[in-house]
A and B are shown apart, each in its own frame.
Chain A
């Protein structure tokens, strides 16, 4: 994947975003900067508005007021598909792939806007996705619904990457997945991170999220109450904002600041069934 590095530090900028449903305001004036080449995470309790915020950025939920810029361009009023054409990509929550389409067809749908612009570049990108995830190449004609959970996660990520996106939005990747698959997904995402991609992640599972992100934002009742480097997050802060308590501190003490120090090799193994107890 080509890394779209820009001199401008922030690929995505949110200023004073307000949004909600009906008469209910859910997002109360959020400012957010997503730095190029970094992984930014939004964390918060159930109902804090994380997913709504991500949907606002995606354009699925309309923005009431405020301004969203993607790489300097105002996208506040654009349709979701227009934002994709400008370089946004998504790894949606839940059923992440189109089950009735084959692996390759899924990737083609993911490259819908790219193929309209430049079909030849698509061929190259497809090859790169298959190089990154050889498992997908093996199964390119298989309906995506018949893939294993780990393979579906690879497909969902590969489908987001094939467009050469400027920023990838990832919605609750661990939600509703079996623990073993969450591990596989983490593996895939860590690999992608090392490619230098810009990502914005919304996650309920803090342990998962902290391992992946460079920058963390804590969302509470539709407002950002903390924003800073993930490494600076200490247990007290987390506990006070999220109500994550004593036992978890143990986890944080061992987990925080100990992100894998060496750059990971590209995800080649495409493993699906590593026992989750295996230490990394």
Chain B
């Protein structure tokens, strides 16, 4: 039971990264290597507002989200929009460039000092099935579920959300129906930025420290989740995130082999490999 509780909490945050990866993949057919790093850099905005200027955590969190959305929009406008007809592997390299840029800025501005953030919410935690779950972790769980539901509802029930889905099916046909292609592309990158920031904000209390590249592991977890979900399904990404979180926790709890280094990471990677080779459409994917 213990690993499941831990796994659901970690997995829900993977799910947020996975949602961002899937959203961008559907919109631009490209894997965004910077999906976790945009949020990491933006988190320094929270530090600036909440630690340095002693404002409430929520205000700092907002600053971080705004920064991440801004980065996403700028990247879409300046790079993605110009590469609409470029080979996808080249666009992927552009996102690697964004990843490098984020990391380089972190290193240039913030390397060598320890930065800490205030706790999101005060108060202790609750014991669940023998595991101490802190208030911040409860917050994370609640926020993730709320964000995922809100995103799903937006895509399903609003005209613009439907236009985003239509554009994922066929961007030119969607444009011919009168949907604004540029705005849709900007929307997916902006939301991906926000999801990145929220994911990093929520995992930070568990890691406890803010440092360049501290949350890069989130990307591997999120990518795994997105793949398990089939890469182009939002519900799949969410469930994939939970599955990956639980699987990781189970592996950590039960698989201890001294002779094989980093056995947990390796086991995760082997799971991904198996998914890819046996069910390339994802565990929950539809296409055969």
Contacts and interface: CB of A to CB of B under 8 A. Distances in A.
Q: Please tell me whether chains A and B touch each other in their complex, using a CB distance cut-off of 8 A.
A: yes
A81 B178 contact: yes
A159 interface: yes
B163 A112 contact: yes
A106 B174 CA distance: 10
Given A81-B180, A84-B178, A85-B178, A112 B173 contact: no
A99 interface: yes
B162 to A, nearest CB: 5
A84 B169 contact: no
Contact of A109 (B163, B172, B181): B163
A60 B159 CA distance: 22
A110 B177 contact: yes
A65 B14 CA distance: 51
Given A81-B181, A95-B170, A101 B176 contact: no
B154 to A, nearest CB: 14
A81 B169 contact: no
A99 B174 CA distance: 12
Interface in A107-122: 108-110, 112-113, 115-116
Interface residues of B, number: 18
B159 A115 contact: yes
B165 interface: yes
Contacts of B172: 60, 92
A106 B168 CA distance: 13
Given A108-B159, A108-B162, A90 B176 contact: yes
Nearest to A83: B178
The interface residues of chain B, by DSSP majority, are classed as helix
B165 A112 contact: no
Nearest to A60: B172
B185 to A, nearest CB: 13
A81 B179 contact: yes
Contacts of B180: 81
Interface string A73-111: 000000111001100001010011011110001101110
B133 interface: no
Given A60-B176, A81-B181, A163-B178, A101 B159 contact: no
Given A98-B174, A101-B162, A105-B162, A112 B179 contact: yes
The contact size tier of chain A is 20 to 34
B5 interface: no
A81 B166 CA distance: 14
Contacts of B51: none
Contacts of B165: 98, 100-101, 105
A143 B272 CA distance: 30
Contacts of B134: none
B175 interface: yes
A27 to B, nearest CB: 19
Instruction: Indicate the member of B169, B170, B176, B181 with the most A CB atoms within 10 Å.
Output: B176
A109 B180 CA distance: 11
A258 to B, nearest CB: 34
A60 B166 CA distance: 17
Nearest to A108: B162
Interface in B142-180: 159, 162-163, 165-166, 168-170, 172-180
A80 B176 contact: yes
Contacts of A101: 162, 165-166, 169
A70 to B, nearest CB: 13
A109 B167 CA distance: 10
Given A108-B159, A112-B159, A115-B159, A84 B176 contact: yes
Given A79-B181, A112-B159, 8 more contacts: A81-B175, A84-B177, A84-B178, A90-B173, A92-B176, A96-B173, A109-B163, A109-B174
Interface of B: 159, 162-163, 165-166, 168-170, 172-181
13 contacts: A60-B172, A79-B181, A80-B175, A81-B175, A84-B178, A92-B170, A98-B173, A99-B169, A109-B166, A109-B177, A110-B178, A113-B178, A115-B159
